[in-house]
C-alpha cells in the first residue's frame, strides 16, 4: 500500500513551445509583444500601447487558455491588473481548468493583487475543476500570509473540502507547511476530517514524513487523532512506518504511549496525578528538617550547643522553613498563564471575520506564525510557549518542573530561584553543623574503625541526615548555578535547549544571538527587583526577513506595479518545471487527467532555469493518488 502522487505523463518543454496554440510560423519574439507578456512583466506603458493604439483585447485568453489578468495577478502586478479590469477584464473569468485570477494570486501570495480583485468583485469561494478554492491553493504553496488575509478580511472558508474531501489542512500537512497548519488550526479547521481515502491531515503528514507538521498536529490534537485508521485500516504511525519514516513513526508511537499513560483529569486517580512530585519533595524536606532538629540540635548523646552554635543551627532551620514556604508559593502560583481564547465559531456570524479581534496583531502582520497557539487559540508573546503537561501557554516559559508540579515562567521564576537559594543555603548550614557535631563528640573513640561503629550506633539519625543532605546538595546546587547563569543572561532553559529552532535567537550568519541580554548588571537587577525581565530587545532590529504583508486598500487610481517577475514566455515553455499530467485514480490506466498549467514558485525570468527540489510546490493540479511508490519529476 502506498500513498504518493503518481505522474503518468510529463509534457516536455519542446511540446510546450512558445508558439503553442498561437499558430505555426509565429516567431518566438511575438510572444513578448502581446498583452499577456506586458501584464506578466507589469509593463503598463506597453500594455496601454497595445490596447489603446493597436486594439489588442484584454478579455481573450492566450494560446494556452490563460487570461492577461491571471498573468498580472500571478506576479502581483496591481497596476496592470487594475488597467485590465478598467478595460473590460473579468475578475471571475476562468481558464480551461476552472481557475480564476484569484487562484493565481494564491500561488505566489500576491496579497495586493488579490485585494484589488476582491474589491472589484472576485468570488473568494470560486472553485476550479478539482474543487480547489483559494484557501486550498494557498495551503498547497505555503502562503500563510495570503491565507490569513483572505480568511480574516474576506471571510474565506479555511476548512472547505475539495472534490476528494481534502481541506486546506490536508494539503498543508501533506506539503509540510507548519505555519499554515498553525494558522488553520487557530481558525478551528477540523483536525479529524477524513477524505475519500479515510485519511486525516495527520495521515498525510505521516505519509510524507513531515515531522514538524506531525508535531503541530499532535500537540493541538487528542489521543483519538493518533488512533484513527484510514480505509486500509492503518493509523498515522503505521503509515509512517510503512513509508520508512522512522523518526516520525517513533514520535507518533511515543505520543500515543504517553497519552495512554495519562490519567483522566476528572477521576480521583487523575486528580492525584495532577499533584505530581511536589508532595513527595515537600515530605522529603520536612522529614529531613525534623531529623535534623531531633538528631542534631536536640540530640541527648551530644554535648550542649553553645549560644553561637545554637544560633547558627536554628538559622539553618529558618532557611529551610522559609524555603518550604517559597516552594509552596512556586508550586501554587500562576507561572504566567496566558488567557485562552474560548470563542465559539458556531456562533460567529457569516459576515464576521473569524480573526476580527486579531486582524491587526503585529505578530501576524509581521508573519510570526510560530506565535500562534492552535490549542489555546491565542497569539502569544514571542517568548511564551505552550506547556504540553499543563496544556496552557506560559509567558517566558522556562521549563515544567515535575518536582514543583508546575511550570516555571515569568510570574513564579523569582519564587523558584529564591526556593533554590534558600534550600542550598540551608543544606550548607545544616550539613556543616551536623558534620561539626559528629566530629567533635568528646565520647567518640580515636581509632577509625571504632569511631565508625560508635557513630553508627549512637548518631544514626545524624549520619542519615548527613548522607541525604550530601547527595541532595549537589543536584540542587547545580540547578541553582544553571538558573543563576541564565538569569544573568536573560535567557530561559527552553530557549537554551531550542536555540537553533527559534529564529529570534539567531543573528546574522545564523549564529546564536540573544536580543534580550542587556548585560549581567541590568539583567540581575531587573530580575531581583521586579521579579522578572521585560521582553525588550537591547538592539533594535534593522530589518526583518519574515514575509508578511499587511492589509491594503487599493483605489482605482493606484499606480502600484510591484511584484515578482514571471514572464509569459517562460511559463509557456515550462521554464524550470515541466507540465505534469496527474492520475488520481492510479488503479485505472485510462483515468481522467488534469492538464492545467503548473505554476511554480521558481518560474522567474531571474532564475535562468535553476530549480529547487524541495521548496518548489508541485502545482495546483496535484491529486493525492495512493497507489504509486515514486514520483518522477523533470530535471
Domain count, the chain: 2
* Residue 630, C-alpha cell as written in the block: 515514486
Give the residue among 423, 214, 204, 395 at the shortest CA–CA distance from 317. 423
In a domain, 203, yes or no: yes
Instruction: Give the up-direction half-sphere exposure of residue 405: CA atoms within 13 A in the CB hemisphere.
Output: 17
Considering the domain architecture, whether residues 312 and 245 belong to the same structural domain is answered as: no
Instruction: Give the up-direction half-sphere exposure of residue 369: CA atoms within 13 A in the CB hemisphere.
Output: 24
CB 26 within 8 A of CB 596: no
Would you call 401 a catalytic residue per the annotation? yes
Distance CA 253, CA 247 (A): 10
Domain boundary among 512, 530, 548: 530
- Sheet with strand 579-583: strands edge to edge: 7-11, 579-583, 593-594
In a domain, 473, yes or no: yes
Q: What confidence tens digit (pLDDT) does each residue in 157-183 have?
A: 999 999 999 999 999 999 999 999 999
Domain boundary among 502, 530, 558: 530
In a domain, 389, yes or no: no
* Residue 453, C-alpha cell as written in the block: 561503629
Distance CA 502, CA 491 (A): 12
> The domain that contains 258 carries what CATH number?
1.25.40.20
- How many degrees, rounded to 5, is the angle at CA 217 between CA 213 and CA 218? 115
Question: Got the DSSP string for 485-529?
Answer: HHHHHT--HHHHHTTTT-GGGB-GGG-B--TT---HHHHHHHHHH
Ramachandran angles phi, psi of 582, nearest 5°:
-105, 135
- Give me the pLDDT at residue 577, please: 31
Distance CA 451, CA 420 (A): 35
Considering the domain architecture, whether residues 202 and 316 belong to the same structural domain is answered as: no
Considering the domain architecture, whether residues 179 and 235 belong to the same structural domain is answered as: yes
In a domain, 235, yes or no: yes
What SS3 state is found at 322?
Answer: helix
Considering the domain architecture, whether residues 409 and 511 belong to the same structural domain is answered as: yes
In a domain, 472, yes or no: yes
Considering the domain architecture, whether residues 186 and 311 belong to the same structural domain is answered as: no
Distance CA 411, CA 414 (A): 7
For the stretch 133-137, contacts whose Cβ atoms lie closer than 8 Å and that sit 24 or more positions apart, written own/partner, are 133/157, 133/160, 133/162, 134/102, 134/103, 134/105, 134/106, 135/106, 135/160, 135/168, 136/160, 136/162, 136/166, 136/167, 136/168, 136/171, 137/103, 137/106, 137/107, 137/620
In a domain, 270, yes or no: no
- Give me the pLDDT at residue 341, please: 67
- Give me the pLDDT at residue 128, please: 94
- Give me the pLDDT at residue 261, please: 66
Considering the domain architecture, whether residues 329 and 428 belong to the same structural domain is answered as: yes
CB 213 within 8 A of CB 173: yes
Considering the domain architecture, whether residues 217 and 182 belong to the same structural domain is answered as: yes
Considering the domain architecture, whether residues 453 and 317 belong to the same structural domain is answered as: yes
In a domain, 395, yes or no: no
Choosing from 330, 393, 401, 434, the catalytic residue is 401
User: Positive or negative CA dihedral for 434, 440, 442, 443?
Assistant: positive
Q: Residue 441 CA to chain centroid, in angstroms? A: 63
What SS3 state is found at 234?
Answer: coil
Domain of residue 228: give its range: 154-262
Which segments of the chain have a pLDDT < 50? 1-31, 344-357, 540-635
Q: What confidence tens digit (pLDDT) does each residue in 407-441 have?
A: 999 999 999 999 999 999 999 999 999 998 888 88
- Give me the pLDDT at residue 578, please: 31
Q: Residue 105 CA to chain centroid, in angstroms? A: 24
- Give me the pLDDT at residue 631, please: 32
Considering the domain architecture, whether residues 436 and 515 belong to the same structural domain is answered as: yes
Considering the domain architecture, whether residues 433 and 489 belong to the same structural domain is answered as: yes
- Give me the pLDDT at residue 506, please: 84
- Give me the pLDDT at residue 320, please: 93
- Give me the pLDDT at residue 327, please: 93
Q: What is the DSSP letter of 184?
A: H
In a domain, 109, yes or no: no
Domain boundary among 530, 553, 573: 530
Q: What confidence tens digit (pLDDT) does each residue in 436-492 have?
A: 888 888 877 888 888 888 888 888 888 999 999 999 999 999 999 999 999 999 999
Considering the domain architecture, whether residues 181 and 312 belong to the same structural domain is answered as: no
- Give me the pLDDT at residue 381, please: 87
Considering the domain architecture, whether residues 409 and 299 belong to the same structural domain is answered as: yes
Q: How far from each other are the two terminal CA atoms of the chain, in whole angstroms?
A: 27
Amino acid at each position: 500500500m502506498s500513498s504518493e502522487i503518481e505522474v503518468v505523463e510529463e509534457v516536455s518543454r519542446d511540446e510546450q513551445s512558445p508558439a503553442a496554440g498561437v499558430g505555426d510560423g509565429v516567431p518566438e519574439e511575438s510572444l513578448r509583444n502581446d498583452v499577456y507578456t506586458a501584464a506578466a512583466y507589469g509593463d503598463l506603458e506597453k500594455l496601454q500601447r497595445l490596447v489603446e493604439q493597436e486594439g489588442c483585447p484584454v478579455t481573450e485568453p492566450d494560446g494556452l487558455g490563460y487570461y492577461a489578468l491571471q498573468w498580472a495577478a500571478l506576479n502581483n502586478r496591481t497596476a496592470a491588473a487594475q488597467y485590465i479590469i478598467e478595460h473590460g477584464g473579468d475578475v471571475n473569468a476562468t481558464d480551461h481548468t476552472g481557475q480564476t485570477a484569484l487562484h493565481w494570486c494564491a500561488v505566489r501570495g500576491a496579497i495586493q493583487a488579490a485585494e484589488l480583485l476582491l474589491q472589484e468583485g472576485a468570488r473568494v469561494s470560486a472553485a476550479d475543476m478539482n474543487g480547489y478554492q483559494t484557501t486550498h491553493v494557498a495551503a498547497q504553496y505555503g502562503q500563510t500570509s495570503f491565507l490569513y488575509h483572505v480568511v480574516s478580511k474576506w471571510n474565506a472558508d479555511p476548512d472547505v473540502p475539495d472534490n476528494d474531501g481534502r481541506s486546506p489542512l490536508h494539503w498543508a500537512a501533506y506539503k509540510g507547511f507548519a505555519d499554515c497548519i498553525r494558522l488553520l488550526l487557530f481558525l478551528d479547521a477540523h483536525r479529524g476530517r477524513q477524505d475519500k481515502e479515510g485519511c486525516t491531515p495527520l495521515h498525510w503528514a505521516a505519509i510524507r514524513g513531515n515531522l514538524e507538521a506531525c508535531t503541530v498536529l499532535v500537540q493541538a490534537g487528542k489521543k483519538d487523532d493518533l488512533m484513527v485508521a484510514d480505509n486500509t485500516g492503518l493509523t498515522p504511525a503505521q503509515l509512517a512506518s510503512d513509508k520508512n519514516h522512522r523518526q516520525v513513526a517513533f514520535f507518533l508511537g511515543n505520543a500515543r504511549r504517553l497519552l495512554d499513560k495519562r490519567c483522566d483529569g476528572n477521576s480521583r486517580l487523575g486528580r492525584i496525578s495532577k499533584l505530581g512530585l511536589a508532595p513527595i519533595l515537600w515530605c522529603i524536606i520536612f522529614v529531613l528538617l525534623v531529623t535534623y532538629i531531633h538528631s542534631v540540635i536536640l540530640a541527648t548523646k551530644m554535648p550542649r550547643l553553645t549560644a553561637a552554635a545554637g544560633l547558627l543551627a536554628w538559622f539553618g532551620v529558618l532557611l529551610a522553613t522559609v524555603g518550604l514556604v517559597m516552594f509552596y508559593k512556586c508550586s501554587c502560583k500562576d507561572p504566567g498563564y496566558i488567557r485562552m481564547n474560548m470563542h465559539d465559531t458556531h456562533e460567529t456570524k457569516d459576515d464576521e471575520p473569524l480573526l476580527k479581534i486579531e486582524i491587526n496583531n503585529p505578530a501576524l502582520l509581521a508573519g510570526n506564525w510560530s506565535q500562534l497557539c492552535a490549542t489555546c487559540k491565542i497569539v502569544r508573546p514571542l517568548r511564551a510557549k505552550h506547556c504540553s503537561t499543563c496544556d496552557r501557554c506560559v509567558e517566558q516559559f522556562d521549563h515544567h518542573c515535575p518536582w514543583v508540579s508546575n511550570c516555571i515562567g515569568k510570574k513564579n521564576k523569582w519564587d523558584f530561584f529564591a526556593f533554590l537559594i534558600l534550600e542550598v543555603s540551608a543544606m550548607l548550614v545544616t550539613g556543616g553543623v551536623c558534620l561539626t557535631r559528629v566530629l567533635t563528640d568528646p565520647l567518640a573513640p580515636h581509632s577509625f574503625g571504632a569511631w565508625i561503629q560508635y557513630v553508627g550506633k549512637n548518631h544514626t539519625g545524624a549520619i542519615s541526615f548527613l548522607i541525604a543532605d550530601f547527595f541532595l546538595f549537589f543536584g540542587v546546587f547545580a540547578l541553582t548555578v544553571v538558573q543563576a547563569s541564565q538569569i544573568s543572561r536573560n535567557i530561559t532553559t527552553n530557549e537554551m535547549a531550542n536555540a537553533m529552532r527559534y529564529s529570534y535567537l539567531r543573528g546574522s550568519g545564523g549564529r546564536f544571538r540573544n536580543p534580550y541580554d542587556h548585560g549581567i548588571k541590568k539583567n540581575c537587577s531587573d530580575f531581583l527587583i521586579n521579579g522578572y525581565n521585560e521582553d525588550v530587545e537591547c538592539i533594535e532590529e534593522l530589518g526583518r526577513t519574515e514575509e508578511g504583508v499587511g492589509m491594503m486598500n487599493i483605489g482605482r487610481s493606484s499606480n502600484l506595479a510591484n511584484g515578482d517577475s514571471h514572464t509569459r514566455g517562460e511559463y509557456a515553455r515550462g521554464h524550470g518545471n515541466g507540465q505534469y499530467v496527474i492520475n488520481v485514480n492510479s488503479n485505472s490506466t485510462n483515468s481522467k487527467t488534469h492538464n492545467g498549467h503548473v505554476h511554480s514558485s521558481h518560474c522567474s525570468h531571474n532564475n535562468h532555469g535553476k530549480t529547487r527540489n524541495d521548496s518548489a510546490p508541485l502545482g495546483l493540479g496535484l491529486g493525492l493518488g495512493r497507489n504509486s511508490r515514486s514520483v518522477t519529476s523533470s530535471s
